[in-house]
Structure 1
Amino acid sequence: MKKNANEKVMMLQYRIKRYQAMGNGAMCQALNGKLQKLLNQQPTM
């Protein structure tokens, strides 16, 4: 479960960087929102 969540975070971060490189700010904002939501759901250790 934890590994799967980490993979999702890594993938979202990668996609955000790719969209930033292309200059697509709207998609960056949408993905950042998803990333923050995912990070907030994870239990802190």
Structure 2
Amino acid sequence: MNKMKKNENEIMMLQYRIKRYQAMGNGIMSQRLNGQLQKLLSKKVTL
């Protein structure tokens, strides 16, 4: 239960950071974070 909550918080934080970097025009960093987000989401699906 606690690990699931931690993953949810991490996903939300990554989504927030991606939006901020996109707003600033930093595409490289937002793509890097998007890769991390996709990894987390794929782990969530397999759990």
Higher helix share: 2
Q: Which residue of 2 aligns with 1:24?
A: 26
Within 5 Å, give how 1:1-45 maps onto structure 2.
1-43=3-45
- Structure 2 stretches lacking a partner, 5+ long: none
Aligned length: 44
CA distance in 2, matches of 1:43, 1:25: 26
- Structure 1 stretches lacking a partner, 5+ long: none
Displacement over 3 Å in runs of 4+: none
User: What is the CA distance between 1:43 and its match in structure 2?
Assistant: 3.6
Q: Compute the RMSD of aligned alpha carbons.
A: 1.0
Identity across matched positions, percent: 64
* TM-score (norm. length: structure 2): 0.88
